[in-house]
Structure 1
């Protein structure tokens, strides 16, 4: 078996990034500054507000925390929340932890949630809808979904864990719902290892998020409700700030790889490429290829064993309605998810990926699929 020559993902930190990080972390210790929720956390929030165009940002411990806080701020407890069945389980867990019952909606052709199925699931107990920007694409259907939610008087929340740097019609992720949750996890386009950001135009949600992230402590240290330890450290904020400064640059690098894939895979039969519309900036967290004739696990094994290529993680191969933890909430059918989730692969994409490596991946994938 050959060594993995091309990994599934790779970080992007320049020498100036590393110098800024090490200098600022050293200053924290030398000057005895706060190590959690300090000046860098505040600066990250301000810079993310300027980047997204949303009025408020609150730094938290994870994207999952941001989503749970958003849902708790909307008082969904005792009701239902419509969520895509094609999502990471943490989306559903956030609904459960916020005290609501998840109602699964099917998948559309671009792997985002089906607006028609959401509309069919909007019963009298639904208190919010969550959409997920799968793979870093803000689906054009998001506009239709936002109109539907507005007409029904139901808040739309964006799970933007994949979507830092993505936009649609000039609007950044986070600007389509009443609140949005971003992840800074290790594999994400913008990362600090762990962490998250909640964005909103609503001052009440902002204030609620600031309260809940720090155990819901009142100024006197007492609690009138319960929160959790959802704080972001200064070290994570420092790393995140370097990533945010280069976010557009990193997205351009990812799209250069995706453009090469598009060109070299365009004529391959038996696949469908999920090509973004012209009005969208896809951040290319994932490059999704739907397979019509091959089993993803077989393709993954051949690329790894024969060509030294590691594929990225699926988004997602087992939809939530089929997972044991959530099966009791499933009220199907889910034909879109049942077709697409187990039938796709994600070739590696990262901002500093040499185009020669991308060409090797595309050519190897073409050989495998044609064979």
Structure 2
């Protein structure tokens, strides 16, 4: 392997961020303040709601928890939920845990869910539709999907786990449906290690989220329904607040890397770059390259062994309808997902990646793909 080693991702914490986090966590312990769902959690919720342009945000333990809570809040139990087959399995598990049956829909060329296939799969038992902003892109078709759901009287839920800070035509991810689930997992554009947020304009959904995240306890400690321990700690909220303050800056850094890739990977035969359309702010959680002539595994092997470059994770290599856990819910065909899911790669991209490193990655990738 080459001595040069470029990782698949790296989060961004500057020295001032680390100092603030250290100081605030120290104050928590010295002042013996509450360590969960307290001042920093409330501040993160208010700041995130203001950033996304929603009326409310509720902090929770993970993006998966946020999605299950949103689905339960709109009442999907004993019904069906249309979900993209091109998504992480947690999206489907959230539907199942909320008491509904997943109905898979196919994938468009930009890796978002096919609006036409969603329309064909909405039926009398459909209780919600989930869209996933794959790789941090809010597809222009999200507008069409939101219109379709409104016409059919079906709530649209955004799985925005990848999409903090992304927007289309000035509207942030999280404002297209009745509720959205965001992830603060370690690899995400904005991270607190673990954690999530429910964003919504609906006061009832907010209240349900606040109830369910804390075991669904009533003020007197009794329970009229069941929730779970989905609380976010104050330490995580502190980290999340730091990251939110720098979110636009970090997205700009990612887009600077993407611009290098766009320039140096353009025009390679058998390669399609999934570039954002006009009006979109892509947060570049992933930079996606579709391959027509190469096996992704072969490309990864050559980049790793010859150049010391690690690719980022797929989004996603095996669609849910082909995974053993979910095959019983698959009712195809899914030609879009079957084509693009196993045929793409994600070069490394992160906000503090030096431009020279990005150029090196692009030139090495071009060499591999031109062979």
Same fold per superposition (TM over 0.5)? yes
Partner of 2:84: 84
Name the CA distance, whole Å, in 2 between partners of 1:368 and 1:5. Answer: 17
Partner of 1:277: 277
SS at match of 1:157: strand
Residue 39 of structure 1 and its aligned partner are, at CA, apart by 0.3
Partner of 1:241: 241
Partner of 1:315: 315
Deviations 1:149-189 (A, max 9, x none): 00000000000000001000000000000000000000000
Deviations 1:24-67 (A, max 9, x none): 00000000001011100000000001101100000000000000
Q: Is residue 9–residue 312 contact of structure 1 (8 Å, CA) maintained in 2?
A: yes
Name the CA distance, whole Å, in 2 between partners of 1:356 and 1:74. Answer: 48
Partner of 2:59: 59
Q: Is residue 192–residue 237 contact of structure 1 (8 Å, CA) maintained in 2?
A: yes
Partner of 1:202: 202
Name the CA distance, whole Å, in 2 between partners of 1:93 and 1:132. Answer: 14
Name the CA distance, whole Å, in 2 between partners of 1:268 and 1:334. Answer: 27
Matched length: 371
Partner of 1:129: 129
Please show how residues 321-340 of structure 1 align to structure 2 within 5 Å.
Answer: 321-340=321-340
Partner of 1:2: 2
Partner of 1:357: 357
Please show how residues 8-27 of structure 1 align to structure 2 within 5 Å.
Answer: 8-27=8-27
SS at match of 1:10: coil
Q: Is residue 211–residue 217 contact of structure 1 (8 Å, CA) maintained in 2?
A: yes
SS at match of 1:128: strand
Q: Is residue 53–residue 175 contact of structure 1 (8 Å, CA) maintained in 2?
A: yes
SS at match of 1:104: strand
Partner of 1:38: 38
Partner of 2:264: 264
Partner of 2:182: 182
Name the CA distance, whole Å, in 1 between partners of 2:216 and 2:105. Answer: 32
Name the CA distance, whole Å, in 2 between partners of 1:346 and 1:11. Answer: 16
Name the CA distance, whole Å, in 1 between partners of 2:327 and 2:23. Answer: 49
Cα pair distance change 1:3/1:186, threshold 3 Å? farther
Residue 3 of structure 1 and its aligned partner are, at CA, apart by 5.0
Deviations 1:249-307 (A, max 9, x none): 00000000001100001121110000101100000000000000000000001001100
Q: Is residue 4–residue 304 contact of structure 1 (8 Å, CA) maintained in 2?
A: no
Deviations 1:192-250 (A, max 9, x none): 00000000000000000000000000111111100000000000000000000000000
Partner of 2:117: 117
Partner of 1:230: 230
Q: Is residue 4–residue 310 contact of structure 1 (8 Å, CA) maintained in 2?
A: no
Quick check: 1:96 aligned with 2:96?
Answer: yes
Residue 2 of structure 1 and its aligned partner are, at CA, apart by 3.4
Quick check: 1:47 aligned with 2:47?
Answer: yes
Partner of 1:170: 170
Name the CA distance, whole Å, in 2 between partners of 1:278 and 1:263. Answer: 17
Q: Is residue 272–residue 291 contact of structure 1 (8 Å, CA) maintained in 2?
A: yes
Consecutive unaligned residues in structure 1, runs of 5 or more: none
Q: Is residue 85–residue 320 contact of structure 1 (8 Å, CA) maintained in 2?
A: yes
SS at match of 2:113: coil
| TM-score for both structures, normalised by structure 1 | 0.99
| TM-score for both structures, normalised by structure 2 | 0.99
SS at match of 2:324: coil
Partner of 1:293: 293
Consecutive unaligned residues in structure 2, runs of 5 or more: none
Q: Is residue 69–residue 212 contact of structure 1 (8 Å, CA) maintained in 2?
A: yes
Name the CA distance, whole Å, in 2 between partners of 1:318 and 1:98. Answer: 24
Name the CA distance, whole Å, in 1 between partners of 2:103 and 2:115. Answer: 14
Partner of 1:304: 304
Partner of 1:345: 345
Residue 4 of structure 1 and its aligned partner are, at CA, apart by 6.1
Runs of 4+ in 1 over 2 A off after TM superposition: 1-4
Q: Is residue 265–residue 366 contact of structure 1 (8 Å, CA) maintained in 2?
A: yes
